[in-house]
Amino acid sequence: MDADKLIVEIDHFSNHKLKRKSDLGILIEVIIKNGREKLFEDLTFNAKYVLGLQRVLKKGNASSEIGNLEKIKEDYTNNLIKSIEQIKELMNFTSEEMQNHFNETYFELSHQSLQNLNELLEDLEWTKMFLNQLKRTNPIS
């Protein structure tokens, strides 16, 4: 499948909520060209999981009903780091210029980079939901 076509389909599926289409397209292109589908599957799963934990933490800070917030925070941190490592592993297949772009945009220790990373993870979460929908509508026998 073509990366650009896939991005269009995911964007349509998300009701045009993708915020980092260009960089998501780069990741998809790397996967297609280098046969890294398993890593991408792990990354999209992990992105969805991290964002789920993030939602629990936001709800937990507003409500005393959610127990064990420290464990959830630790799990969130560990899986956020794992997502970053997975993206960096994919970036090893790109040019130095592209690696620098991802490092500056997503991995610097700044509020803006964390916000950018969160947007990319949201796009990866949409990708996971899109791929899950494809599996449900086109099951492999």
Distances (CA, A) of 105 to 12, 23, 81: 25, 10, 16
Query: What is the 8-class DSSP label of residue 141?
Result: -
Predicted confidence at residue 63, as pLDDT, reads 63
Given its phi and psi angles, is residue 15 left (phi above 0), alpha (psi -120 to 50 degrees) or beta? left
Helix (H) or strand (E) holding 54: helix 37-62
Predicted confidence at residue 82, as pLDDT, reads 98
Predicted confidence at residue 138, as pLDDT, reads 76
pLDDT at 128 over 90: yes
Predicted confidence at residue 85, as pLDDT, reads 98
Q: Is 138 helix (H, G, I), strand (E, B) or coil?
A: coil
pLDDT at 66 over 90: no
Q: pLDDT for 70-109, tens place per residue?
A: 888 999 999 999 999 999 999 999 999 999 999 999 999 9
Domain assignments of the chain as residue spans, ordered by start: 3-137
Predicted confidence at residue 67, as pLDDT, reads 62
Distances (CA, A) of 138 to 30, 68, 96, 141: 24, 39, 38, 9
Looking at per-residue confidence, does 62 or 69 come out higher?
69
Predicted confidence at residue 95, as pLDDT, reads 96
Q: pLDDT for 7-58, tens place per residue?
A: 999 999 999 999 999 999 999 999 999 999 999 999 999 999 999 999 988 8
